[in-house]
Amino acid sequence: MAAPHGFVETTFMKLSIVILTYNTKKLTLECIDSIIKNYKDEIEEKIIEIIVVDNASSDGTANSLSGKKYVNMFCNTENSGFSKGCNLGAEKAKGKYLLFLNSDTKTFDKGFIKMTDFLDANENVAILGGGLTNTDGTKQKTAGNFYNLFNLSLVLAGFERFGLIRKYPKNITQVDWVGGGCMMVRCDVFEKLWGFDPRIFMYMEDMEFCFRAKKMGYLTFFFPDIKVEHSQHKSSNRGFAIEHIYKGILYFYKKHTNYFEYLFVKILLIIKAIVAIFVGFTFNKDYLRKTYMSAIKNIL
């Protein structure tokens, strides 16, 4: 990835907004248009750039964005997943800061500038997660604590919905991790950490990245003072998400913990899947049965 390289047309490139898209043509266009509406001056002054990476979409996304004003477009020949796609966008970036933004978001203010100002004023902070809201105005819990064995047990038991693990802090707060749907990172730190782990196709890559950052002494904060709406689950289906969350959790424990913790987590995941499959058969929920059978198959 390109390190910040000084001045572009006498103005320092401060922020590179990296958007990964896969078969979300309409959402991606709306996302980009909302950014341009709020940051047109900064884009024209070369303070902000928009980078879009298309993961071999089949819905005409690449054609619709090709030549679009203010957009730097790059295309993969295959769907390489979230981590690899974002890493490619980061390699093309010129900004001091990188903002990884989901394609199914809409921006309504200049909150990204506030985030860069915060990072300018707090050099000990390397990662800053922006607050996201649902389309009905409710807050998305996209920050929280790392998944230790106790936390993970609560998550698999369904207690995550009560805000015990994930949260939306009302104030600027230090946290363990923030979601990758709106994550700002210092470019030099992203480079030192070698980006997102490319072996994680999708889901858990944000937590794993923040975990590695913390091990190197970098701080992660949550920044709620922005207005970004996220149409959650519109860019991927829930069954797909569960399968890859299972893979991501198991990979995280295999990479960062000892064998016994890894084995314990694998057993927990299998038990959760068996319970879900039983519920699926009992109440004729084909979705549960098929999703969790596939999830077990992928981790065995």
Q: In terms of Cα–Cα distance, which of 115, 129, 292 is closest to 222?
A: 129
Q: What is the pLDDT of residue 297?
A: 86
**20 and 111 share a domain?**
yes
**193 and 289 share a domain?**
no
Q: What is the pLDDT of residue 159?
A: 82
**91 and 186 share a domain?**
yes
Q: Residue 48's domain is classified under what CATH number?
A: 3.90.550.10
Q: What is the pLDDT of residue 160?
A: 78
Q: What is the pLDDT of residue 234?
A: 52
CA distance 17 to 47: 11
Which residues in the chain show pLDDT less than 50?
2-10, 235
177, 212, 230: which is the final residue of a domain? 230
70: Cβ–Cβ under 8 A, 6 or more apart, which residues? 32, 36, 40, 43, 44, 50
C-alpha separations of 190 from 87, 122, 207 in Å: 9, 17, 14
Q: What is the pLDDT of residue 3?
A: 45
Instruction: Say how many domains are in the chain.
Output: 2
Residue range(s) defining the domain that contains residue 116? 7-230
**163 and 271 share a domain?**
no
Q: What is the pLDDT of residue 233?
A: 52
